[in-house]
């Protein structure tokens, strides 16, 4: 197991090297002067020169990459052009809302999707099944920036149950945070819910046709126990895989959701950086998100041994 983890960790190195190379050379492969692009359309030559010097773009390219890679290895993601703060500091300031949003979304999606999928598989081809499948088709089509606004319109503006936008940090009390994160979590969780419900249903259907399920029924195990203890646990591996794939989708969704709900997290940081063309922040965030995605994939693979002891590494 330990050997496997070490092997997998080593295997992530080339992936991250490609990501770093890509992020670095993207800036140089683009046609035109990168300093001029970053400085903006109406920058004076002096400002462009300033950006060039600040980013070290006046150095030879191999030297630039050397410095970039060396800094990266020491955990230095670069410095923002506009605020002059290290990217890592900016990230730390914005981390809490994004993590809370991601966890809440994950919770909402899994908590609704798994019962939906199990129910649909148990009552296959029934009305409930059709309803769940219909929902999952719809969930893929409705973008978060439509569903989010529908939720705001209904629950915040018409019913006034929840705040319209914004985020209350955990320091203000958990109930405040939960109230501010409820709508965003549902809005973002919809696609995710659709994905997990669909795969749960499919995976359960397959397992329910196995011999040991018939045996369990035959020896008189209660229906609930057959579904949850015998079937669901054996159907878990594909479900967990999809949860992992979904987490990657979540990262993209966070950027849009935070914009819809005015949440000052990493997504907002990204969008603000785009509007100001603060390229070091975008570079740093891409590396961070890619790293997070690689780690999630590893965690998912490791969790297989828990759900299915037949899988050994």
Partner 1 sequence: MVSTTASVTVAARRTSWADILFWSRRNKTIIGGMVILLALVTVALIAPWIADDPLGFEPTNRLKRPSEVFLFGTDQFGRDVYSRVIYGTRISLIVGLSVALVATAIGLALGVLCGYYKRVDAVAMRFMDGLMAIPAILLAIALITLMKASLFIVIIAISIPEIPRVARLVRSVVLTVRGQPYIEAAIASGTRNLTIMWRHILPNTVAPLIVQATYVCASAILTEAGLSFLGAGTPPEIPSWGNVMSLGRTFFQIAPWIIFFPGIFLAVTVLAINLVGDGLRDTLDPRIARRM
Residues that bind partner 1 (CB under 8 A): 14-19, 21-23, 26-27, 30-31, 34, 37, 137-138, 140-143, 145-146, 149-150, 152-153, 157, 164, 198-199, 202, 206, 248, 251-252, 255-256, 259-260, 270-271, 274-275, 277, 279, 282-283, 285-286, 289-290, 293-294
Residue identified by tokens 């290290």 is 86
Smallest distance, Å, CB 260 to partner 1? Answer: 8
Smallest distance, Å, CB 5 to partner 1? Answer: 18
Compare residues 5 and 138 and give the one whose CB is closer to partner 1. Answer: 138
Smallest distance, Å, CB 75 to partner 1? Answer: 18
Compare residues 25 and 218 and give the one whose CB is closer to partner 1. Answer: 25
Smallest distance, Å, CB 273 to partner 1? Answer: 8
SS (H, E, C) the chain: CHHHHHHHHHHHHHHHHHHHHHHHHHHHHCCCCHHHHHHCCCCCHHHHHHHHHHCCCCCCHHHHHHHHHHHHHCCCCCECCCCCCEHHHHHHHHHHHHHHHHHHHHHHHHHHHHHHHHHHHHCCCCHHHHHHHHHHHHHHHCCHHHHHHHHHHHHHHHCCCCCCCCCCCHHHCHHHHHHHHHHHHHHHHHHHHHHHHHHHHHHHHHHHCCHHHHHHHHCCCCHHHHHHHHHHHHCHHHHHHHHHHHHHHHHHHHHHHHHHCCCCCHHHHHHHHHHCCCHHHHHHHHHHHHHHHHHHHHHHHHHHHHHCCCCCC
Compare residues 185 and 199 and give the one whose CB is closer to partner 1. Answer: 199
Compare residues 153 and 306 and give the one whose CB is closer to partner 1. Answer: 153
Compare residues 239 and 251 and give the one whose CB is closer to partner 1. Answer: 251
Smallest distance, Å, CB 225 to partner 1? Answer: 26
- Answer for the pair 37, 277: CB distance below 8 angstroms, yes or no: yes
Compare residues 37 and 237 and give the one whose CB is closer to partner 1. Answer: 37
Smallest distance, Å, CB 131 to partner 1? Answer: 16
Smallest distance, Å, CB 307 to partner 1? Answer: 18
Compare residues 21 and 222 and give the one whose CB is closer to partner 1. Answer: 21
């Amino acid at each position: 197991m330990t050997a496997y983890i070490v092997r997998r960790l080593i295997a992530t190195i080339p992936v991250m090297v490609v990501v770093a190379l890509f992020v670095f050379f993207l800036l140089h492969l683009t046609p035109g002067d990168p300093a001029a692009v970053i400085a903006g359309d109406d920058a004076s030559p002096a400002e462009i020169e300033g950006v060039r010097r600040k980013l070290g773009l006046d150095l030879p390219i191999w030297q630039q990459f050397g410095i970039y890679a060396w800094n990266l290895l020491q955990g230095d993601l670069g410095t923002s052009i506009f605020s002059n703060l290290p990217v890592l500091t900016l990230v730390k300031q914005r981390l809490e809302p994004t993590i809370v949003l991601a966890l809440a979304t994950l919770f909402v999606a899994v908590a609704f999707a798994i019962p939906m999928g199990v129910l649909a598989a148990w009552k296959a081809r029934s009305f409930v099944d059709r309803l769940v499948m219909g929902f999952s088709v719809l969930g893929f089509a409705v973008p978060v920036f439509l569903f989010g606004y529908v939720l705001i319109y209904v629950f915040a503006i018409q019913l006034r149950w929840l705040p319209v936008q914004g985020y209350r940090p955990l320091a203000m009390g958990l109930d405040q945070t939960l109230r501010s994160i409820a709508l965003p979590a549902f809005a973002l969780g919809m696609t995710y819910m659709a994905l997990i419900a669909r795969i749960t249903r499919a995976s359960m259907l397959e397992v329910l046709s196995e011999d040991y399920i018939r045996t369990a029924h035959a020896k008189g195990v209660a229906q609930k126990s057959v579904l949850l203890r015998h079937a669901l646990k054996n159907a878990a591996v594909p479900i967990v895989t999809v949860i992992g794939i979904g987490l990657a989708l979540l990262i993209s969704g966070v950027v849009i959701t935070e914009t819809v709900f005015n949440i000052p997290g990493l997504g907002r940081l990204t969008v603000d950086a785009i509007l100001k063309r603060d390229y070091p922040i975008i570079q740093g965030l891409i590396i961070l998100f890619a790293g997070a995605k690689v780690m999630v994939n590893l965690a998912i693979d490791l969790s297989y041994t828990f759900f299915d002891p037949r899988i050994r590494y």
